[in-house]
Amino acid sequence: MSEEANRRERKQRQLPVRAVPIIPVVLFLLAPFILFLLTSSNFQWQLPRIRIEYDRRHDDAPSTSPTAKLRPSSPPPPPPPVAGVDNDDEERHLPPPRQLTDPPYSLGPSVSDYDARRAKWLRDHPHFPASVSPGRPRVLVVTGSSPRSCGNAGGDHVLLRAFKNKVDYCRVHGLGIFYSNAVLDAELSGFWTKLPILRSLMLAHPETELFWWLDSDAMFTDMLFEPPWSKYVGHNLVLPGWDEKVYVRKSWLGINAGSFVIRNCQWSLDLLDAWARMGPRGPVRYKYGEVLGEALSDRPSYEADDQSALVYLLVTQRERWGKKTFLESSYSLHGYWVEIVDRYEEMMRRRRRNGWTPGIAGGEERWPLVTHFVGCKPCGGQYASYDAAECRRGMERALNFADDQILRLYGFEHESLNTTAVRRVRNDTGGPLDAEDEEIGRLLHPRFRAGSPSW
């Protein structure tokens, strides 16, 4: 037993001696391989990296924006955009903005003798007449929104429904529609994006007589009413506004540039050029903002916006621009949403009780043709003037109110203006081709509608 125990004891003492050299040998062999993997450029892509970016918009942080050094150190905040494009990201990649010493900005090469050239084009292309029937011009509704998606899905959904609303109106009245989500001229960002769009469309569509611009947050809410086009035969620009506010008080709120009609002619091209000179981003826009602030009442000196610039042209060059501009106040070409959205049920009750004929009859108040959500930002943003939830509620009501006028053509309506749920209100199985309401019958057949003279 003692010999066996001695042999076992010697074996146990030998094991650690044999095992000890293995660890440094393994480390010696593996270390170069591990070091090679860590330093190899082919392997680096497999390792996680951390990218750090500083907020360029922070007041104390340096900015790489080319406009940062040229703008005032603390410019006053701009007003809520009428309808524009958030272009902060795009501006970081743009060349330096136009300086005050540069030649005046232009939308493009000068266009001259346009009226004669357009008239010749129309004679050469009789299958594209500028009037769809006697006294009824060819009209193209133009609208648009930002090229980028909203920060929230709800905003994109509102924009989709607002576009659907415009499509419905154009379809039942036989009007064309053009939607833009591109910034055609980087100099004219924000409020100003509509100007290059309208100019491009005028030159590309000589068959179109009138262009009707609508902001993305402006919605049709009287789907039956159509502007009295014959009323504007002698004018090239139709704006919602009031003579006293514009020419006497010189108020920048005397018109609204979110919904207006402009004729396809040389006068309009010249107006767009004169208008656009006040809009280039950077020092020019801020300088004209000061000019507008001094010339117009109740307007601070923030950067120039398109609405104030148009009022400025009408006031300072009335002989040139005012004579051909019609300020429309007999119906709501632009209706301020705050005063409208909670009155839809009252309007419907009054119509059922009294009724009215198309157009302005006997001074009876119509439904607003357009409900415009001025001060709201469907896509979100820091310059909204109203609570986002209140804006969304109002937009939902306006869209449902307008949609009901379409749905009723097919026998449905919303359960209330506060919900998207619908219900059947008419059983058409007995005679689906019958239309008791003459006007509804005309809307159901837009081809007939398009060929009808205006009211």
- The model's pLDDT over 22-64, given as tens digits with 9 standing for 90+, comes to 666 556 666 665 555 555 444 444 433 333 232 333 333 333 3
pLDDT in tens, 130-150: 998 888 999 999 999 888 888
Is a pLDDT exceeding 80 seen at residue 380? Answer: no
Query: What span, in angstroms and rounded, lies between the C-alpha atoms of 377 and 386?
Result: 9
pLDDT value, residue 359:
41
Q: Give me the numbers of helices (H) and strands (E) for the chain, helices first please.
A: 16, 13
In 92-230, which ranges are continuous DSSP H helix? 114-124, 153-173, 194-204
Question: Residue 205 gets which letter from DSSP?
Answer: -
Residue 154: pLDDT band (50, 70, 90) is confident
Q: Tell the burial category of 443 from Cβ atoms under 10 Å away from its Cβ (0-12, 13-18, 19+).
A: buried
Q: What is the mean pLDDT of residues 294-298?
A: 92
Banded model confidence at residue 410, pLDDT cuts 50, 70, 90? confident
Percent of the chain as helix, strand, coil, to the nearest 5: 40, 10, 45
Is 88-450 CATH 3.90.550.10?
yes
Average pLDDT over residues 298-325: 94
| 342 phi/psi in degrees, rounded to 5 | -95, 10
The predicted-structure confidence for 230-258, as pLDDT tens digits, reads as follows 999 999 999 999 999 999 999 999 999 99
**Cα 24 to the chain's mean position, in Å?**
70
Show the beta-strand stretches assigned E in 145-269.
176-180, 210-214, 218-220, 237-240, 259-263
Number of residues written out for the chain: 455
Separation CA 130–CA 109 (nearest Å): 25
Please, how many CA atoms are within 13 Å of residue 410, restricted to the half-sphere of its CB?
8
Q: Is 17 helix (H, G, I), strand (E, B) or coil?
A: helix
Look-up: residue for tokens 């501009």? 325
- How sure is the predictor about 442, in pLDDT bands with cuts at 50, 70 and 90? low
Cα–Cα distances (Å) from 86 to 141, 193, 199, 236, 282, in that order, read 23, 11, 21, 30, 15
